[in-house]
Structure 1
Amino acid sequence: MINKYEPFNLFSNFSKSAERFPDQTIQFDEPLPSFPELTLSTTYLESKKALIVKASQLQKLGIVKSNKVILYKSAQFDTYLLAVALAYIGAVPIMISPHLPVETMDILTERLGNPWLICDFATQKRSQQLQKLDTNQLIFAEKINDITIETLSSQIKLPDDMISYMTHTSGTTGVPKLIAHSANSMGWRIKWQKNILSLIRKRGLVAFHISPVHSRFNIGISSLMAKGFPLLSIANPNLKNVAFVLRKCEPFIIETHPNHFVQWTQLAKEKPEVFASVKYYHSTFDAINKETMAIFLRTSKYRKPIFLQVYGQSECGPMIMRFHTKSSLKRANARVMGVGMLGLTKARIVDQNGRVQAAGTPGNIQMLSKGRALTYFNEDQRFNENVYGKWWDSGDYGVKNRLGSLSLLDRQVDLIQTIDSTLAIEDRLLDQLTFLDEVIIIRGKEGKPQPIVSVRAGQKMDFDRWFAAISDFPHLNEPIMMDYDKIPRTATMKVQRLRLEKALTQSE
């Protein structure tokens, strides 16, 4: 089924979904601080009613049409619900990771020009330290519930081509950039996702642990609701909680970040029954190694479970897809991301001068997406530096084969002269060395490849197996051991490689 395109309004989509599927459920593993009335289980319709009340309370606090409102709070589902409530009154939600420090937040706040900011218990102290925020425009999420309203507000819509929603880049290479979206640009992304969901006939429970400030969250949840799927939001990703929640709820579909899948492999291997109910797995926008996918597919009670690998970027949305099964993974190269969606997304490979490369010749990956973002807010020049007509330079390095399948090799800024693909080496080592939680190859002394490794809890570093595994690789420096939790990451668990390199240089 091919779904029709229509501009996407956060609240309108939520409202239509609630009208079509009023009794469909949304479950949570933790109470929502700013929506306590929803408890741990609610419905589409109950949520819609709560959203309108919340929107009316926010309007009474002084938020009006086109105001920019930073959501800087704990990573729970109510972050998204607050964004929908803001959209109802025509405000522009700005989705910001709660992990960003005060210094970065001051830069982003100044860039937005007198925004409002909603914080909570997790970010209150840092929010009060901001120098570039009007203290009269700081709102504590938990206090919104205390606002008394006499009448409910009416919905206010922004023009479809106006900035109506912002996320930010991962910040792996510095201060994040604010990515501006409109109803028109987001509509194409929703169409892409609905096309995928139309392939799934059963409306089974969808469990997800995704950063609510990631552009993927908005696309995924809005599309799932439009199709009437029941939802299970997992805020706490630790193994004990995940095991409890999944056993209790038995989801049909699971989506999370690749690095969370890596962390959950320990649970999948020790207690595979936890994931037995899952037929479809989906990882967000980033590459994932083959053995991780295989481990989860083997836990399923279904004869042909599927792992959907999607490669994309916040600037362009979901782009390239590939479906994996237990049998296909045996002969698959996990670096091969797949192909675009006809009429919506595709990729090409170009050299440093922008010339399109022949099949088999690596180069810079450029993307064509109807859902491309409008700009980086107040940084148009930085955005336009990556624009080549209809094409967007992803910052990634890869190659296409003669059949048009795209392989991701590296980030352009992470290239190491002696290695074709650091990501391929990392994949192979993680696939083979099951005692490792993480392998990262960065530039070390004199630009040589430096492995950073994290050993799985309860395991020991096996150097005999390590040196056997790297015997046919280009020279790698002796690995540096690091605790998994000490590795610097973004809100979506991406490794901040340049920060690692800088720390390594400073320690020498």
Structure 2
Amino acid sequence: MNHPRATPTLLDRRTTPLKLVRGQFQRRVPLFKPVNVGVIAELAANKFGRTVPIYLDEPFSWDPEHRDTLDYVDYANLVERLSAAFKAAGAERWDRIAIVKSRSYDIQAFVWAAARIGAIPAPLSAGLDPAVLNVLLERLQPRILITDSETARYAGLDTDRFRALSCVAIGIDQVEGAISIEELWDAPTPAPSPLKDDEPMVITHTSSTTGVSKLVEASATGVSFTALMESIFPFGHSHDELLANSISHAHIAATTEQLAAFSRGTPLLGIGKPDEATILRLFARHRPTIALAHPNDFMDWEALVDDPAKPFASVRVFFNTFDAMHSRTIRRLLNASERKFPFWVDIYGMTETQALTASFFTRRSLGRRGNPDSRGNGWPLPGVRVRIADPMNGGRRRHQSEPGMIQAKTRANALSFVGTPEKYSQRRHGRWFDTGDWGRRGRWGQLKLLDRVADRIDGVESCIAIEDILLDRIPDAREVVIVPDGDGRPVPVVCMRDGTSLSSSTWRRVSADLPSLEYPFIIDWVELERTATAKARRFVLSEMIKNGGSMDIGQISSTVALRDGA
């Protein structure tokens, strides 16, 4: 039964300096030694009891009590029952469990349940192309596959497909050829038996921006290290905050963020579907103080900054995951906060390395429009090293201010790539890992991301920087992406907000001082090919332009749509 709670006022979410300082000394589950996500729910429940709420945008569909508010004890109990269901379905230590279901905040509960019994969870986003999903399942070869009817129809998962994969399927609802989770719900609870700290704890996939995603193994050591860096960040996690988490919950950042939150006893607002209506409803009701999202979701939320409900008024910290963040979005959302000193934390990293650097922005530091841009990615986190390498030999460039390959050395580096270990080996240079990004170091050692190596265009230093400028100059643009045409010339792909357009005169004005750009290719937002984390699939857009702008995926050869990512 759901119990209504009083709606917090803006005043309720105010944080005094004393509260901020006190929050850094509150009790916690320590992460200085690795903690497996399979046991963190129980540890946090024992530490904090029922004092920490978890608000949900919608109840977990498989929760017998159908609750939209949980606490740490409730969550730990659900994780235990899911682990019992996996065990009853035949899961053993080292078995891989694929989690392929509709986007929801419940995905990490399945991840934690699998890790609890020493299986290796592999959450796969239902936002991936069906063909890509099935390629990943072939590489993964799971022992158990959990899905729902919507995703099963979308990805072609049925009795024959389960048989071909030699896996046992568990259906959250009615799925052809799958055991219903209800049949397994009352199985006896097994004792925790997670794998060792340096063994694979979870497998997540890259975003598919440059092709078919890679399956990346991460250990408890690596995930705990990243979670520790987040949990000790000054004036972040504490019992007095409310963290709204709306990222893809199949992402490695979801695993590290939730581990950090549970270690500190941070109240959570779990959001599975971060559409504008959901964000407006939940933020106005619960008044979160920290907002975590993917950069492209933050861009979508720009449309809400002038809403009378003031959904971002209580937010003190905006926190984005690993992708490029545009300065216009940062500026608009910071200005929508009614906190005295709101700030933005821009994290640079990727699935293969997790978080690498952090940069911070305030209203004042952003300065006037377009100066500075947000391509400065800050400095490496404690315990992380970053260098610029020569693409010819993979060694360190003598002059770090000269553009080159960005390489990283961190305890969170991937263990391997499932199904494509040769690609992993190609990106290792001793203990350094090649990120696949192109950038340089600034005068004071700060990292500056220029582009993804696979997306570079001859004669253009940074497509991302040009996109940043154009977004500032075209206020009604929802997205701008620079991709090459068939002759390698830079073409802006522009998505305008509903009811707006981009005139020829406006385009000439905003692009007059930029490198020679072709006339923009205008596309509707719903037609934009996007990844599971809402990023544009640039190589697909480039191929579409080469094919005359058709959005029919059938006109793009399978060798392009299903090419291996960089």
Task: Indicate the TM-score class for this superposition, using the shorter chain for normalisation.
Answer: over 0.9
Match for residue 89 of structure 1 among 117, 123, 143 = 117
TM-score, length-scaled by structure 1: 0.95
Could you tell me how far 1:367 is from its partner in structure 2? Answer: 1.2
1:340 aligns with 2:380: yes
State whether residues 316 and 369 of structure 1, in contact with CA within 8 Å, keep that contact through their aligned partners in structure 2.
Answer: yes
Could you say what secondary structure the match of 1:130 adopts? Answer: helix
The equivalent of 1:140 in structure 2 is 171
Q: AA paired with 1:451?
A: P
The 5-angstrom pairing of residues 245-394 of structure 1 reads: 245-271=282-308, 273-330=310-367, 331-342=371-382, 344-353=383-392, 354-357=394-397, 358-394=399-435
Mapped pair 1:99 → 2:155? no
| Structure 1 equivalent of residue 243 of structure 2 | 206
What's the counterpart of residue 45 of structure 1?
73
**1:242 alignment partner in structure 2:** 279
Scaled by the length of structure 2, what TM-score is found? 0.86
CA distance in 2 between partners of 1:422 and 1:377 (Å) = 31
> Could you tell me which residue of structure 1 aligns to residue 527 of structure 2?
486
- What letter matches 2:449 in structure 1? L
For residues 427 and 186 of structure 1, do their structure 2 counterparts lie closer, same or farther at Cα, with a shift above 3 Å needed? same
For 1:301 and 1:215, locate their aligned partners in 2 and report how far apart those are by CA, in whole Å. Answer: 31
1:262-306 CA distance string (max 9 Å, x none): 111011134471110110100111111111101111111111101
Structure 2: gaps (5+ residues): 1-23, 174-179, 550-566
SS at match of 1:489: coil
Point out the more displaced range, 185-194 or 297-306: 185-194
- For 2:451, give the aligned amino acid: D
1:415 aligns with 2:456: yes
- Correspondences of 1:404-483 after superposition (within 5 Å): 404-483=445-524
Structure 1 CA distance, aligned partners of 2:163 and 2:456? 37
Is 1:5 paired with 2:32?
yes
CA distance change for structure 1 residues 148 and 477 in 2, over 3 Å: closer, same or farther? closer
Tell me how far apart the structure 2 counterparts of residues 419 and 240 of structure 1 sit (CA, whole Å): 38
What is the CA–CA distance in structure 2 between the aligned matches of 1:334 and 1:136, rounded to whole Å? 45
Counterparts of 2:199 and 2:400, CA distance in 1: 39
Provide the residue aligned with 2:227 in structure 1. 190
1:232 to 247, 266, 269: 269
AA at the equivalent of 1:213: A
Partner of 1:222: 259
Tell me how far 1:359 sits from its aligned partner: 3.9
Counterpart CA distance in 1 for 2:458 and 2:167 is: 52
- After superposition, what is the alpha-carbon deviation per residue over 1:9-64, rounded to whole angstroms, capped at 9, x for unaligned? 11211211111122211111112112242510010001111221222122112222
8 Å Cα contact 1:452-1:480 kept in structure 2: yes
SS at match of 1:374: coil
Structure 1 vs Structure 2 CA RMSD:
2.0
Aligned-partner residue type, residue 429 of structure 1: L
What is the aligned residue count? 507
| Cα distance in 2 for residues equivalent to 1:258 and 1:271 | 23
How far off its partner does 1:103 sit? 2.9
Distance 1:152 1:200 in 2: 31
The Cα of 1:68 is off from its aligned counterpart by: 0.6
Structure 2 counterpart of 1:349, one-letter code: I
Question: How far is the alpha carbon of 1:132 from its aligned partner?
Answer: 6.7
CA deviations on 1:429-462 (whole Å, 9 max, x unpaired) are: 1112111111110001310001110111122223
For the Cα contact (< 8 Å) 1:275–1:296, is it kept in 2? yes
CA deviation map 1:351-379 (0-9, x unaligned) = 22234331431111111211111010132
Structure 1 window deviating more from structure 2 (345-354 vs 291-300): it is 345-354
The match for 1:55 is 83
Does the CA-based 8 Å contact 1:31-1:40 persist in structure 2?
Answer: yes
Tell me the amino acid that sits aligned with residue 48 of structure 2.
F
Q: Which runs of 5+ in 1 are unaligned?
A: none
SS of 2:311's equivalent in the other structure is helix
Superposition deviation, residue 153 in structure 1: 1.8
Distance 1:495 1:383 in 2: 24
